[in-house]
Amino acid sequence: SWDSAVYVTDSIDGTQYIPEIAYGNDRVHLTWHSFNRDANGKYAIEYASSDDDGDSWELQTLYEPSGTAVYSWFPDITVDEEDVYVVWQDDDWDVNGVYDFEIILKKSEDNGGTWDDGTLIVESKRTANFFYMLPAIVSNAGIIYITYQDYRDSIYDHYFALSQDSGSTWYDDYEITDGHLINYAKMEMAIDEDGKAYFGYYDDTNIAEETDEDIDIYIRATIGGYPTNPTINLDGGGDDWEWAGEFNQDNSPITWKNNGEDGALKSFKDALEDGLEDAIDNSDTFVDEYGVEMANITLTVTSDTEGRISFTEMKIEYTVDFLVDQEKLVNNLNTLVE
């Protein structure tokens, strides 16, 4: 059974297109693009949120271009805790009057209350000015995937951009399909609690070697999420700290201090000393500008299976013991006075 339909955009005029929806933190989030609000002849990116299961809505215009005939189209939305992300394609983000479609991301860190100024994710120099890039977005625990379609070398392949730090930095785009020939084809995604991403799309390239060449639905997924039995070592030898069941995105941060605590096979102090000895034995040292000999200590992460580990922050705290031989100090001071 269904509730009665709710009129979300009754307070605005113009034409409203292609809504996308997400839910998180007891709030329903909507986004879409509008045209000709207040007879302005512009395409704009809209957003609405509801805290009462959709009975009432608060509307915001997330982005309105400076001029007409500028295409801010096809937004998509995802929620990750208090963070809300809206992505869309835009042909004049840099306001240069040139039609060069790009992918833009806006982020809210307060559940849709306020928004940043927007970030350029896919620049026009990396695209072929394809009119229907149709971006999609998913996120979980700071990991964000943005997919889009682009026309390169006469092929309409799909690509994704990836961030593992809530959108602060982005990796280069990665090609998902190979020889995709259908245009105007949006890819949808899902992401699990371990960060494994699934990509759903339709294709006519006969990937499965069927008898009849037709259009079918396909799923691709990233290999692994959080790896099995991740470990770390500092001395180039055996594992010093086993993270399995101890260190993950649900219970971090974890402090590595004493042997036998939180998966540590040796104390951090002992591992650091072993790392220094290993660096000295392998001549991995240098003298800095102050004449002090320094050592490079390599932190190595391994696991039993493929997967992904993301460092959001790592802090090393240590105590320096300043030891003074009193008799020697007094003698030296007396020498200086004389």
Q: What is the pLDDT of residue 178?
A: 84
**Domains parsed from the chain with CATH numbers:** 15-221 (2.115.10.20), 224-338 (no CATH)
Residues 149-187: pLDDT tens digits? 988 888 889 999 999 889 999 988 889 988 887 888 899
The number of beta carbons lying within 10 Å of the beta carbon of residue 2 is 4
Q: What are the b/e assignments for 284-315, b being 16+ CB within 10 Å?
A: beeeeeeeeeeeebeeeeebeeebbbeeeeee
Q: What is the pLDDT of residue 21?
A: 97
Q: Which residue has the tokens 């512009």?
A: 42
Of 19, 13, 12, 48, the residue nearest 33 (C-alpha) = 19
Residues 242-288: pLDDT tens digits? 876 555 556 666 778 888 887 888 888 888 888 888 888 888 899 98
Distance CA 2, CA 148 (A): 33
Q: What is the pLDDT of residue 254?
A: 74
The conformation of residue 13, written as its DSSP 8-state character, comes to -
Bridge partners of 198? 190, 221
| Element at 202 (helix H, strand E) | strand 197-203
Distance CA 327, CA 100 (A): 77
Distance CA 169, CA 105 (A): 12
Distance CA 273, CA 286 (A): 17
pLDDT along the chain (338 residues), means of 10: 90 93 96 92 95 94 88 96 96 79 95 96 70 91 92 87 92 86 89 88 73 79 76 80 64 77 85 88 89 86 75 72 76 73
Peptide bond into 135 cis (omega under 30): no
Phi-psi group of 64: left, alpha or beta (phi > 0 → left; psi -120 to 50 → alpha; rest → beta): beta
Residue 281 burial class via C-beta count within 10 angstroms: exposed 0-12, middle 13-18, buried 19 and up: exposed
